[in-house]
Homo-oligomer: A and B are copies of this chain.
């Protein structure tokens, strides 16, 4: 009858629900409930029924829009991150590479130690480790964008002659971020600003031009 759709409505003739009629109220409530429950109970004990109940929402409203508990949490967390970012997605570039990296790594350490972010991030990371599909999303939507910022900064540093020629920027970034993530995930030793600084120190020494 009417495949003609209102402008703005994306539509596709499939069987998916009409997202233009989606309840914003419910979505927000689900985000909030999901984040709260994960923080309170941990991922494992958080259930879709629980989220629905806490959000004052029917279970079907969740199953209608998300394929899994992890997907709900992922979106909820992305939403949280977007809010928090507040548009500022920049990476400092003062010309002093070590200082800039130190600043960012210290901020990362703080974030990793902040319980508000820690619980859902750990949950998502863990789930992504085991579920490749979700892991891919995690990388694409959360990890890669932030790694790209590092890469860009390194390119700028290379242009300024602050890096050895031929360095693979991606690997260089991982030299910084990998150890940090390792310590965070494995909880081997405390994650401190000093550790961040030491990483910048050791890594840059290996990446700097050989004089």
Contact = CB atoms under 8 A, between A and B. Distances in A.
Q: Is the interface of A mostly helix, strand, loop or mixed?
A: helix
Interface residues on A, range: 35 or more
Nearest to A173: B179
Interface in A140-178: 143-144, 147, 164, 167-168, 170-172, 174-175, 177-178
B170 A189 contact: yes
Interface stretch (A11-19, A51-59, A75-83, A127-135): A127-135
Contacts of A42: 130-131
Interface of A: 42-44, 122-123, 125-132, 135-136, 138-139, 143-144, 147, 164, 167-168, 170-172, 174-175, 177-183, 185-189, 195, 198-199, 202-207, 210
